[in-house]
């Protein structure tokens, strides 16, 4: 006799990568964790690939040159695609400042037939600077830091993301709900 749990575990879940891109302190990680909780509550398998944690464990030794940032994004994209191909919702709150790097990740997902959504957390730099979660903007203003994305290093905002979230104009819960609605609309939640 099979249990409901065994039956539900035998059903193949559709995985997906949800890439949340935006400036430092835009709200990407906060939204990702809010969405992760909601998806887990619905019974989905979810992993959050936090950019800071990935840099510490998977991309240790990489700097912040354009080449190193590209390498970091490709590594994260590879891991996200593997997870998504195996039925996990991979939520990826990573700046990924360059459009060509994000496009390469999207193309890898398309080649593998894995769902990929790009979400632009479009918070203005002035708001991000006020939030300054990690103190990066203060360090940059004091001359202690250079190469801050969106200030003295480029950020290519997505031209046509699957969703644009104006996190400075809505709550974290509203942002996560909008993303959940998109996943539902695409048959992924």
Determine whether the annotation assigns residue 24 to a binding site.
yes
Find tokens 């249990």 and name the residue.
3
CA angle 75, 22, 42 (to 5 degrees): 75
Find tokens 């004091």 and name the residue.
142
Three-class DSSP category at 120: strand
Q: Where are the beta strands (DSSP E) in 26-178?
A: 46-48, 89-93, 116-121, 163-165
Determine whether the annotation assigns residue 26 to a binding site.
yes
Determine whether the annotation assigns residue 25 to a binding site.
yes
Determine whether the annotation assigns residue 23 to a binding site.
yes
d(C-alpha 137, C-alpha 7), whole Å? 50
d(C-alpha 102, C-alpha 112), whole Å? 16
Structure tokens at 50: 């936090």
Neighbours of 102 (CB within 10 A): 21
Determine whether the annotation assigns residue 139 to a binding site.
no
Determine whether the annotation assigns residue 134 to a binding site.
no
Per the annotation, where are the binding residues?
22-29
Per the annotation, where are the binding residues for ATP?
22-29
């Amino acid at each position: 006799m099979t249990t409901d749990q065994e039956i539900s575990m035998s059903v193949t879940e559709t995985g997906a990568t949800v890439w949340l891109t935006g400036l430092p302190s835009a709200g990407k990680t906060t939204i990702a964790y809010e969405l992760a909780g909601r998806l887990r509550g619905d019974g989905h398998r979810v992993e959050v690939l936090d950019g800071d944690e990935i840099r510490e464990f998977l991309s240790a030794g990489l700097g912040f040159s354009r080449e190193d940032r590209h390498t970091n994004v490709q590594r994260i994209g590879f891991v996200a695609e593997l997870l998504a191909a195996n039925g996990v919702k991979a939520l990826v709150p990573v700046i990924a400042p360059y459009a060509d790097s994000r496009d390469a990740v999207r193309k890898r997902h398309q080649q593998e037939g894995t769902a990929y959504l790009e979400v632009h957390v479009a918070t203005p730099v002035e708001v991000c600077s006020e939030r300054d979660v990690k103190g990066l903007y203060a360090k940059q203003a004091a001359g202690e830091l250079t190469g801050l994305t969106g200030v003295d290093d480029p950020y290519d905002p997505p031209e046509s993301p699957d969703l644009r979230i104006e996190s400075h104009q809505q709550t974290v819960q509203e942002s996560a709900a909008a993303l959940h609605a998109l996943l539902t609309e695409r048959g992924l939640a």
